[in-house]
Each structure stands twice: as C-alpha cells, then as structure tokens.
Structure 1
Amino acid sequence: MQPLFLKPVFKEMIWGGTALREEFNYDIPSDKTGECWAISAHKNGDCTVETREDSEYSGKTLSELWSTNKELWGRAGEAEVFPLLTKLISAETDLSIQVHPDDEYAKAHENGSLGKTECWYIVDAKEDATIVIGHNAKDKAELHKYIENKDFLGLIREIPVKKGDFFFIEPGTVHAIKGGTIILETQQNSDITYRLYDYDRLQNGKPRELHIDKCLDVIDCPFEAKEPEHRKAIEFEDGSLVRNMVTCSLFEVDYVKTETTVSLSQNTDFTLVSVLEGSGKLKSKDNSEWKIKKGEHFILPHGFGDYALTGSLELIISGSR
C-alpha cells in the first residue's frame, strides 16, 4: 500500500500575494495567490493524485477515487462526499469579516452543502499580527445595532497571533484572517462563507457581495471563547513531539515535530498529512519508504497502519471521525 501524493489547486484572491511561492516554492498562478487547496475533493478545487509508483490511482481526481475506490476510505467512505478539506491560506492583506453555517443551516439554504467547522494552525505570522475570533455583542439585538451603525471595528474581537498558535472555529463564530499571516486550515469539505464586512473595498470596480441576513441568522450570540478538546501531548527524549490540537465529532488534528524518528498509529479510517517544515522519510509497516519534504501533502489510505516519520520535520496530520 502506498500514500496518495496530491497536486494542489491554487486560488487567486483579492487579499492574496506571493508568500506561497516564497515560503513553499509553489508554482503559483499570479502575485495575488491566496489559497492552496492541498487536499481537496471539492468541485471548486479537486486535487489530482500523483503517486510515485505505477498505480491505478495516478492521474485520477480525489473526488473520483472517493466515488470509485471505496477500499481506500474504510467506513468513512459511506459518506456521499469526501469529508475534509486541507488548505494553506496566505493573507497579504485582511480577509473579510465572515461567518460559516452549520450542517443543518447549509443543508437547508445552500443546496444540501455541508456546513463549515474549521481550525487554523498558524504556520507563520508577521510581528504584531492579529486575527479576528468572536464578537462583542451580548445578544442578537445588540448585533443588529452594531451592523446597522456599521460599527464593525467595535463589534469584532481582535487578538494577537504568533507562529504555532492554534484556533478551533465552530460554525456561527465571527472570524477573519488578517494580513501577514499564513495558516494551515483543516475544515469540513465546504466552500460556504458569509461575508459580514469587507472594508468597502472593490473587486473589478464593484464591492464584493455581503450576506448580512444569513450572517444574522447564523452568528452565535453571545460569543464564548472555548478551549478545544484535545488529548495530552506526547513528548520524546530527542525533542520530538506529538500534540493533539483538537478532537471533535468531525475530525482530529495533530501537530507532529520529529527530530529523529516518531512512530505513529493510524487511528482514523484514513489519514491526511501536510509537511510544513523540513525533509525526511515516511516508512510503512512493511518497510517501504518515501522521501517527503516541505510543501508536500498526501493521504495514507485505509489500512496503511502503523508508520514512522524520520528526519527533521514539522507536519499537520488529520483524519475524519
């Protein structure tokens, strides 16, 4: 059994830049590139499999494999669509202040789409960088008042951020990535975003669409900051580390740092891996090896089993639940 290496899909954005090329050496489409859809089977950005050996999977899209090769996915493959989406997001300037719906609202209002629960690992951030998480309205009436008065700076809750931070963002949470920040996002397989405010900026001479009514429907009031549920970190004598960042009903996400070798067990039906720093090797239980390096993303299919990561590496590893 072999890992499924993926060719990312890149998205140009009004707030994008060149950091994905500078940081990860990607061949980006323009100097306004904001997103790398690194592991995606979504119709708006479907990754292609690029295995390193002769394989029946090479050249197929991830959505195609999800539909036709159920042996790769275990029980998770019973779902209609691939459950997760992994992105690298690079913000040259601020993203819109926004919110996402939950599954129930998205199903009813967005043609049966999944909602969007997501989480962010901060890959890099400029000095004094901030992000928006949450708001200051005590109830819906006060939320209406903030919006009617266009007092969005008074509404939002802005907090400092640095490399290595992690945030779990449930549906209904007002949020925004701000300029000078690169994140690795693990999310439900959804492309539904409701914009609350976009700084009155123009795209092609026109303001981008806002979704005020839907925002009012789905924003939770009041906002309550919560620590995500997670397991205890595992530290090794050589300085290696396995830190579970969140375990929720939809997915779990681990940060892994290797100094020599870390041995891991596949504890979800299949495993998503993104290499954020360094280079090394992936070794399977049958002693097969693959070289891996910064900027690569791959899936360990169902049944890959125990595996080892060797070298100097930083990775985000996730799986659906």
Structure 2
Amino acid sequence: MLTPLKFQPLFKYRIWGGNKLKTVLNKDYDSESIGESWEISDVPNDETVVVDGSLKGYTLKQLIKEFKGEFLGESVYKQFGEAFPLLIKFIDAKTPLSIQVHPNNEYAKAHHNSFGKNEMWYIMQADQDANIIVGFEKEIDKTQFKQHLEDKSVLDVMHHENVKKGDAFYIPTGRIHAIGAGVMLAEIQQTSDVTYRVYDYDRVDKTTGKTRELHTEQATEVLDFNVESSYKTDYQKELNTSNKLIHSPYFKSNFLPIKGEVKKDYSNVDSFVIYMCVSGQAVIQYQQKDYAINIGETILLPASVNDVMLKSDDAQILEVYF
C-alpha cells in the first residue's frame, strides 16, 4: 500500500504574509496575507492529510501507527515512536518577520513539552536588495543585548545578509534570525512551533488590533551570542547528483538538480525521504506509476519505497531525510 504520498497543505495567515505562495507557487486559497504553507506537519491540531490514493485522508500519525518502521524507517521509529520528526514549509514574507530565536530540545522539552527547533532555509525567490537577519554582527553580552532592546537599537547589532535564489542557511537553536521582506523560501525544521519573539517593529496585527507578544526573557536565556565568520552554506550544484546541502543531527538535506533521468536507490537509507520541488517540474516513477511534482509541491517517499526514477527537462529538488 505504501507509495509516494502527497499531503494537503495547511495555509497560515501571518501578519507579514503576502501572495507569492499563490502567484508563484500556484497554491489554491482565497485568504489574504498567507505567509506559510505547511506541506507536511504532525504539529498537534495541525496535521496534514494524504490527498489521494488508497491512503487518502490519513494523517502522519495514522500512517505511523499503521505502518511503523515501514513508513518512518526502523531507526527513526525506534527514536521517535509515533511522532514525526520534521515540519516542512514554504514561506512568503511580504514584510519582515519578527526578530526571533528558538530553544533547543532540552529547554523546549522542559518548558513546552516540545522538540526544539533547528531549521534551515533555501531561498527560492528574493526581490532586489531583499535580505535576511541571521546571527549577530559583533560580539555582545546579555547585558548589552538587553540595553539594545530597551533603546530599540537591536537591529544595529544583527547580521543582515542580502540573499538570492539558491542561497541556503542553517539556523541552529539559539541563533537569532528573521526572514526579511520580499523573500520566499523553503524551510525544513524539527516538528516544533515554539518561537521566542525578540522584536516585532511595534506593529499591530489587523486581526486582533494589538501588537504581538514578545518573549524577551526566554529569548535571552537561550540566545547564542557567538559571532560566525559566515552564516551562508556553500554547496555543490552538480547535475543529476544529490549534492550535500545541510546535514545536521536533526535532518539531512541535499540539492538535486535534474535534467533527463536520475535513478535513486534508497535501500541504504533507513528513513522516509521528502522531495521539495523548488524549481521546474519533475515526474517520479515508482512501480510503473508516475507521480508529478511541480514547483512549490512536496512528496514523501515512505521508507519502504526504495527504487524510484526521477525525470525532468529542468527541475531542482531538495531531498530531505532523517
């Protein structure tokens, strides 16, 4: 029964959301200010469901309960049980996101009974001069940081980096960050919805008429004040090859550009595999059946799906697994 699976995305209103998920990625919704498309989610009360085939209507939790390691991979099932470890999104920021930070596994478990939130970004489109905030520009300590918050000069100590299509960034827990205006990206993260807002431009949410809550005390407890020489991930882009992108203890991701045919054998990968199409379109062939994937779409291969053929005139795929 287990074949490549597509899920129905969940569309999330965000104060900073735009319309690129509809106009660029062809998402089908009628709401305004949609900032996130949750492609594959096991977040409580936000579980995505299979859209077609014999398993139509199944949530991730139901798939794991029924198929266990056959779906997740035996090692993943042994580690996580019936919890799916990743949350997969596309994000469109019309205006900047709040300056924020995420806690690690231990802190999130103690305070929220949740996983921590290590994540990565792959830039799919960026307006001219669009940037992101990632990390600090110079060394500061907690006392200096709190002073910058009080006098609203915190943006002055952040590292701003202009971005373009194809740029990739790893955002480990503790690293301060924000997606800037005009950026659309693919996000891969641990299954967690825990975010500590540090600064939100004093803006008012039109749906509530209020400013959004800040979490400066929690943020200060989990912040990593180290300054890195570079925050961007360098990677190869060899055609028809799984080029190592970001490999962490929490997920692995590769950049897979396709022209022609690529045969993939996952018999040595004890994990589900997720494809996110970030450019073009492709066809996945499995057991003499075709599964189409277009830009802005996501497909999950259960762990028991080992041999697939990918075909495309010109596509770029993010290949994600545990």
Where 1:200 maps in the other structure, the secondary structure is coil
**Could you tell me how far apart the structure 2 residues matched to 1:183 and 1:170 are?**
17
**Could you tell me how far apart the structure 2 residues matched to 1:235 and 1:206 are?**
49
1:34/1:83 CA distance change after superposition, 3 Å:
same
Can you give the 5+ residue segments of structure 2 that lack an aligned partner in the other structure?
none
* Residues 127-156 of structure 1 deviation map (CA, whole Å, 9 limit, x = unaligned): 111100012343223222222322112121
* Residues 246-297 of structure 1 deviation map (CA, whole Å, 9 limit, x = unaligned): 111111011211111122232241101112222231123x443323322321
**Could you tell me how far apart the structure 1 residues matched to 2:23 and 2:66 are?**
37
**Could you tell me how far apart the structure 2 residues matched to 1:121 and 1:229 are?**
10
Contact 1:132 1:156 in 2 (8 A): yes
Contact 1:36 1:89 in 2 (8 A): yes
Q: Tell me the equivalent position of 1:165.
A: 167
Contact 2:90 2:296 in 1 (8 A): no
1:191/1:225 CA distance change after superposition, 3 Å:
farther
Q: TM-score, normalized by length of structure 1?
A: 0.91
Where 2:198 maps in the other structure, the secondary structure is strand
Q: Which of these residues, 129, 134, 143, is aligned with residue 141 of structure 1? A: 143
- The amino acid of 1:31's aligned partner reads E
Q: Tell me the equivalent position of 1:206.
A: 210
Q: TM-score, normalized by length of structure 2?
A: 0.91
Where 1:10 maps in the other structure, the secondary structure is strand
* Residues 213-269 of structure 1 deviation map (CA, whole Å, 9 limit, x = unaligned): 001100112233566889x74734xxx443221111111011211111122232241
**Could you tell me how far apart the structure 1 residues matched to 2:115 and 2:162 are?**
30
Where 2:319 maps in the other structure, the secondary structure is strand
* Residues 16-59 of structure 1 deviation map (CA, whole Å, 9 limit, x = unaligned): 111110011111241210000011111242111023x3x1x211
| Aligned length in residues | 311
1:233/1:154 CA distance change after superposition, 3 Å:
closer
**Could you tell me how far apart the structure 2 residues matched to 1:125 and 1:293 are?**
19
**Could you tell me how far apart the structure 1 residues matched to 2:30 and 2:13 are?**
7
| Cα RMSD (Å) | 1.9
Contact 1:97 1:175 in 2 (8 A): yes
Contact 1:281 1:292 in 2 (8 A): yes
**Could you tell me how far apart the structure 1 residues matched to 2:23 and 2:8 are?**
18
The answer to whether residue 261 in structure 2 is matched with residue 252 in structure 1 is no
Q: How does 1:57-206 map to 2 (within 5 A)?
A: 57-70=55-68, 71-75=70-74, 76-78=76-78, 79-80=80-81, 81-110=83-112, 112-135=113-136, 136-203=138-205, 204-206=208-210
Where 2:22 maps in the other structure, the secondary structure is helix
Contact 2:92 2:183 in 1 (8 A): yes
Q: How does 1:6-85 map to 2 (within 5 A)?
A: 6-51=7-52, 53=53, 55=54, 57-70=55-68, 71-75=70-74, 76-78=76-78, 79-80=80-81, 81-85=83-87
- The amino acid of 1:218's aligned partner reads V
1:223/1:28 CA distance change after superposition, 3 Å:
farther
Where 1:250 maps in the other structure, the secondary structure is coil
* Residue 162 of structure 1, CA deviation: 0.6
1:2/1:319 CA distance change after superposition, 3 Å:
same
Where 2:187 maps in the other structure, the secondary structure is strand
Q: Tell me the equivalent position of 1:242.
A: 242
Contact 1:228 1:246 in 2 (8 A): no
Can you give the 5+ residue segments of structure 1 that lack an aligned partner in the other structure?
none
**Could you tell me how far apart the structure 2 residues matched to 1:234 and 1:178 are?**
25
Runs of 4+ in 1 over 4 A off after TM superposition: 225-230
